Amino acid sequence: MRKRLLALVALPLLAQAPDNDLARLRAAFAQPSPELAQLRQLCDGIGGRVTGSPAFTRALKWGVDGFKAAGLQAKVEPFPLVNGWTAAPPRIRIEGPMGFSPLATSWGWSPPCAGTFRILDGGDGSDAAMKTLGTSAKGAFIYLASEPMTTPEALFGEYTTTARQSAVAKALGAKGLIVQSTRVRKLLYRHLDPRCDDGRVADLVEIQIAREDGARLGRLLKDRPVQAEIRMPNRVSGPVQAGNVIAEIPGTDLKDEVVLIGAHLDSWELGTGALDNGCNAAMVVEIARLFKAANLHPRRTIRFALFGGEEEGMLGSKAYVKAHRAELDRIRAVVIYDEGLGKVSGFSLGGRPEWRPILDAALAPEGDGAPKAHTDDAFVGTDNYDFLVEGVPTLIANQDWTNYLPNYHAESDTFDKVDAGALRRQTHEAAILMWGLANAPALLSRQTRAQVEALIQATGLAPQMKTFGMWDGWADSSRGRK
């Protein structure tokens, strides 16, 4: 109590009732906002922004400039990427009668390729189907058919499946894979082999072929042996610098405690990263602007993070956690948005159901529309991961995927997919949440290694960590709570 009174004397703004703060926040929100124009600049002006590319560097400047225009100090915290990578569209010519030139694209961080190769039919890509190829696979490309993707579960399944298929193909000595797109009507998207995160170049050539062209190739393979000329001059640059953009509003009486809201700034580049994840990067900048415009002074420090390298294995948040390890005890909440602009149904509590009363109280000013269907799960998939395994309390917005799923990492993830009203509603809700967390009477504490261990068991996180190559880091304590 005494400490609180002292703080009130030093900082008269704290004497204002919380309702007054919210009224000022709402008044600021009602004013014209640069949010949509900033998002358009990121998508149309800068475009797709693969980590380590010149476009990504321009996006870092966009972030710093956005926070500065809002009246905050902002800086880039650099981290290295093992390799920069630039895609070149593959040119494939299937030779002979009924030959054709399929539409195709590279997987992320595939090595380049040029030459004439045999293509073999790997069927549905099951271990059994691929292993029947035996020694004939040496030096050849293996074509793998797929099922159309229509659910988030099927999308996550693609990563598990392709990690296994690429490992089998490598073991068979294949030159590469040609995998049928899971999206109809020739939609292409950038997929990454989970075995080559961290900017490591894949150990075989990985190509995605348009769904209809793949089906045609599959039919041809039933008729006769197929040879193709394949040229895919991808460029691998060697080590490059990437970075995170970090800004903050210092707290008052609890300024040593930090609540962080983050979204990744990088994107794939077939589209322009509007839903994944430009909209949420713009939202994070806008929330900072609203708090400054409303002249709000939170009890806890609010930190704003635009992470790089998310698409290559959450590299920016991983680097952030490593660089800020000494202050992780003081980071009391990490809130991540990475599912576009579909309505938020609730938050993934990262395996900590004790979040519920705190979260519901923070969201209470949203009234009946507040997201309430929180989930106790924990998953590998976005920038909360390294905080989670360090025992830091995390929240991820669970959103409606109706618009997000069909455009995921695809050519179609462009600014025209942004619902301007949904962007404003989501920004309002997230601002209320961050304000509530920054001023909450109490938040959760950091977990010990034993508690994180128990959480991993209770949530079934371990198999996902293994698929994405994160288990060893946890097991040998090089990544996660010591």
- How crowded is the C-beta side of 250, counted as CA atoms within 13 Å? 5
Site size for Zn ion (CB under 5 A): 3
Which listed range, 37-45, 65-73, 165-173, 331-339, lies at the site for Zn ion (CB under 5 A)?
A: 331-339
Q: Which two tokens stand for residue 186?
A: 């020739």
Q: Does 338 bind Zn ion (CB under 5 A)?
A: yes
The answer to whether 134 and 113 have CB atoms below 8 angstroms apart is no
The minimum distance between CB 263 and Zn ion, in angstroms, equals 8
Q: Which two tokens stand for residue 184?
A: 């109809």
Q: Does 197 bind Zn ion (CB under 5 A)?
A: no
Which listed range, 13-21, 332-340, 349-357, 365-373, lies at the site for Zn ion (CB under 5 A)?
A: 332-340
Q: Which two tokens stand for residue 315?
A: 């590299």
**Of the candidate residues 252, 277, 394, 426, the single one contacting Zn ion (CB under 5 A):** 277
Q: Which is nearer to Zn ion, 317 or 439 (CB)?
A: 317
How far, in Å, CA of 318 to CA of 198, rounded? 10
Residue in the block written with tokens 């993070």 = 305
How far, in Å, CA of 294 to CA of 25, rounded? 5
The minimum distance between CB 458 and Zn ion, in angstroms, equals 26
The minimum distance between CB 17 and Zn ion, in angstroms, equals 38
Q: Does 399 bind Zn ion (CB under 5 A)?
A: no
Q: Does 413 bind Zn ion (CB under 5 A)?
A: no
How far, in Å, CA of 221 to CA of 213, rounded? 12
Nearest to 443 by CA among 247, 249, 256, 250: 256
The minimum distance between CB 63 and Zn ion, in angstroms, equals 16
How far, in Å, CA of 239 to CA of 265, rounded? 20
Nearest to 334 by CA among 378, 250, 396, 249: 396
Q: Does 407 bind Zn ion (CB under 5 A)?
A: no
Residue 95: count other Cβ atoms within 10 Å of its Cβ.
12
Residues in the chain, overall count: 482
Q: Which is nearer to Zn ion, 316 or 391 (CB)?
A: 316
Q: Which is nearer to Zn ion, 141 or 307 (CB)?
A: 307
Which listed range, 107-115, 335-343, 429-437, 453-461, lies at the site for Zn ion (CB under 5 A)?
A: 335-343
Which listed range, 102-110, 269-277, 421-429, 435-443, lies at the site for Zn ion (CB under 5 A)?
A: 269-277
Which listed range, 79-87, 151-159, 270-278, 413-421, lies at the site for Zn ion (CB under 5 A)?
A: 270-278
Q: Which is nearer to Zn ion, 176 or 243 (CB)?
A: 243
Q: Which is nearer to Zn ion, 183 or 299 (CB)?
A: 183
Task: Indicate the SS3 state at residue 354.
Answer: helix
Q: Which is nearer to Zn ion, 278 or 365 (CB)?
A: 278
The minimum distance between CB 384 and Zn ion, in angstroms, equals 12
How far, in Å, CA of 65 to CA of 70, rounded? 9
How far, in Å, CA of 401 to CA of 386, rounded? 24
The minimum distance between CB 276 and Zn ion, in angstroms, equals 4
Q: Which residues pair with 260 in a beta bridge?
A: 303, 334
| Dihedral class, residue 206 (left if φ above 0, else alpha if ψ from -120 to 50, else beta) | beta
Query: Cis peptide before 277, with omega less than 30 degrees from 0?
Result: yes
The minimum distance between CB 81 and Zn ion, in angstroms, equals 17
The minimum distance between CB 275 and Zn ion, in angstroms, equals 9
How far, in Å, CA of 327 to CA of 322, rounded? 10
Q: Does 276 bind Zn ion (CB under 5 A)?
A: yes
Which listed range, 66-74, 128-136, 338-346, 435-443, lies at the site for Zn ion (CB under 5 A)?
A: 338-346
Residues that bind Zn ion (CB under 5 A): 276-277, 338
